[in-house]
Structure 1
Amino acid sequence: MAMRDICDCHMHILDHRYPLWSGAALNPPDALVGGYTKVRERIGIARCVVAGPSIYGSDNSCSRDAIVSLGIPARATAVLTKDSSNAEISELNKAGFVAARFNCIQGGPWKIEDMAPIARRIAGFGWHVQVYAGPSQIVEMAGILESLPTPIVFEHICRIRDPKGEDADAFATIAKIVERGRAWVKLSSPYLEPDTKGTQSDRFARTVAAFVEAMPERLVWGSDWPHATEKDQPDTVAMFLAFCSFVGVEKILDRILVENPAQLYGFK
């Protein structure tokens, strides 16, 4: 694929030199900048967004240092708490952070009821709220999500497997917020769907197709490197190529990989 300015909108850097949060649900091996560089060069990634790992709690040092070390234009998402100071948020903003991340699957040093107060505080910095949650959680949180004063980015297609069937309510909730011009969706991590295996999942392809049909102007792609939840490491390049084949139409693919991320994250 010959496409310039491809953006990986969801990846992590993991380094044992940074202390684990006491409530961490995972303890993955290191995944350093050098390893990611090899992958991104094979794909042709020119920009990226470092997703703040849940394993470090509200210590954003690893992601902050990664922005500097990656050697390409990069942004990052932070994990905040209700006690995070405005001074801290301001410093993170200067360092290239653009969002507060809420991982509702592995958890974090915050409560769901903290989401709205934190969103109000980051709104002044032009940040968005990034949410990783499953379909039932999205439906349960609909009232909170619709009331937030910031844009929302939904991670990993919210683990939706069947947007026209069992997950129709979650899909409709997301679509409603997107239609108001307030949300984006990351198409990533097919392996996070229960009871599916491999990178060529027909179910993931159908889910991607549903999102592409409904909201192509609000979709971005993420590798989820280094796939910290997986015992058997998937092939990042193969997953990327499979994703490209699922989208199919080059103009839409360019929008998802280049144009939409540039708009969302302010890349020029």
Structure 2
Amino acid sequence: MPDYLPFDSHPRPPRPLPPASSCDSQFHVFGPRERYPVRPGAAYEMPAATIETALRLHRTLGIERGVIVQATTYGADHQVVLDGLAAAGPNYRGCANALALLECDDAYIARLDAAGIRGARFNRQGLGISMSQSDFARSIARIKELGWYAKFQPEAKGIVDQLALFEKLDIPVMIDHMGRPDPREGAASASLRALLELLKRGNFWVMLSLTEKVSHDGFPWDDVLPVAHACIEAAPDRIVWGSDWPHPVSVKQPPNEGDLVEQLYRYAGSAEMIKKILVDNPAAFFGFQP
């Protein structure tokens, strides 16, 4: 298993700080290893990135809400997320790994729901968890029963080859990482075009995240600006932002979170849109109190 680089340990506050009740709609928690064992066959393991460290980061950034997304590292065992939610309190929600819908009994799923988990994520194939078509259908049926959302991580080359999985779903769907188009292709990107078509429907949402890996030019990530602007224009009321901290499977030094928040400001372009993306939209999608 390769070694991946840890997060920037000296995050700086963004200038200015974001509005009150801002939400980091995707971050992960890892370790400590002696308490949360890695599942057999895991595709990767990260250096420790505990809930305590995540909450300190959020205080530095001016973030008051968040969504802990289960990493494939732990598979269907969600204890790291359950403990994280207990430590973080009522301003935080969770997103399960969809594998739990196949491997866990109803009592465990009810426990996840009671803890604040409101969705299930389907990961890209390269991360070691895949499903048959029948298992996928079973998972979606369970999501409908629970009233959860489905969340899809794009493949490294974008969502275009995944469309058959989710394009006809009628439940709330979150597409991560802007659909991961190649910004060098501009408006001709098949993944970007597919995402914009999905956003014409009222049940599809998109997350502005993974800027540093979507970009081919590197910091300050100017090449990603047109992608984000296209997403915002297509669905200003159905777009959120996530840090993706601690930036799993990074082979280059992960960015400073202050830079990522300020990049969002560049994406949004106005205080009104910043508030939509960081406060209003995630409150509506994840069920935070106004």
Equivalent position of 2:108 in the other structure: 88
- Following superposition, the deviation at residue 136 of structure 1 comes to 5.3
Give yes or no for the alignment of 1:12 onto 2:33.
Answer: no
| TM-score of the aligned structures, taking structure 2 as reference length | 0.85
Instruction: After superposition, give the CA deviation of every residue in 1:125-154 in whole Å (9 maximum; x if it has no partner).
Output: 110111001375622232321233421111
Q: Which runs of 5+ in 1 are unaligned?
A: none
2:193 to 161, 165, 172: 172
| Cα distance between partner residues in 2 of 1:172 and 1:115 | 25
- Measure, in 2, the Cα distance between the counterparts of 1:137 and 1:235: 24
User: Could you say what secondary structure the match of 1:256 adopts?
Assistant: helix
2: CA distance, partners of 1:106 / 1:233 = 20
- SS across alignment from 1:147: coil
- Determine helix, strand or coil for the equivalent of 2:113: helix
Q: For the residues of structure 2 that align with 1:191 and 1:245, how far apart are their CA atoms?
A: 14
Question: 2: CA distance between counterparts of 1:176 and 1:166?
Answer: 13
Matched ranges for 1:167-206 at <5 A: 167=189, 169-193=190-214, 195-198=216-219, 200-206=220-226
Match of residue 56 from structure 1? 74
Amino acid at match of 2:49: A
Q: Verify the 8 A CA contact 1:134 1:160 in the aligned structure 2.
A: no
Q: Is the 8 A contact 2:179 2:195 kept in 1?
A: no
- Note if contact 1:217-1:255 (Cα within 8 Å) is conserved in structure 2: yes
Matched, 1:232 2:253: yes
* Residues in 2 aligned to 1:6 and 1:212: alpha-carbon distance in whole angstroms: 17
Tell me by how many angstroms 1:248 deviates: 1.3
Tell me, yes or no, if the aligned pair for 2:30 and 2:47 is still in contact at 8 Å: yes
1: CA distance, partners of 2:136 / 2:160 = 16
How many residues of Structure 1 are paired with residues of Structure 2 in the alignment? 266
Rounded Cα–Cα distance in structure 1 between residues aligned with 2:27 and 2:103: 26
Counterpart of 1:140 in structure 2: which amino acid? D
Structure 2 equivalent of residue 23 of structure 1: 41
User: Given the alignment of the two structures, is residue 3 of structure 1 paired with residue 19 of structure 2, yes or no?
Assistant: yes
- Superposition deviation, residue 208 in structure 1: 0.9
Whole-angstrom CA distance in 2 between matches of 1:108 and 1:218: 30
Are residues 166 and 26 of structure 1, via their aligned partners in 2, closer, same or farther at CA, if it must alter by over 3 Å? farther
Asked if 2 retains the 8 angstrom alpha-carbon contact of 1:123 and 1:149, the reply is no
Instruction: Say if 1:46 and 1:72, in contact at 8 Å, map to a contact too.
Output: no
Q: 1:83–1:39: structure 2 CA closer, same or farther, 3 Å change rule?
A: closer
SS in 1 for 2:246: coil
1:249–1:90 distance in 2 versus 1, CA, 3 Å: same
Q: Quick check: 1:39 aligned with 2:69?
A: no
* Superposition pairs of residues 95-134 of structure 1, within 5 angstroms: 95-111=115-131, 113=133, 114-134=135-155
Structure 1 residues 26, 256: closer, same or farther in 2, change over 3 A?
same
Q: Which has the higher contact order (CA 8 A, sep 6+)?
A: 2
Percent of pairs with identical residues: 29
Distance 2:171 2:228 in 1: 25
Runs of 4+ in 1 over 4 A off after TM superposition: none
Normalization by structure 1: what TM-score? Answer: 0.91
Deviations 1:71-103 (A, max 9, x none): 451111111333333332222111111111111
User: Match for residue 78 of structure 1?
Assistant: 96
The CA RMSD measured in Å over matched residues stands at 2.0
Distance change in 2, residues 1:2/1:61 (3 Å): closer
2:159 is equivalent to residue 138 of structure 1: yes
SS at structure 2 position matched to 1:124: helix
2-structure distance, mates of 1:208, 1:175: 11
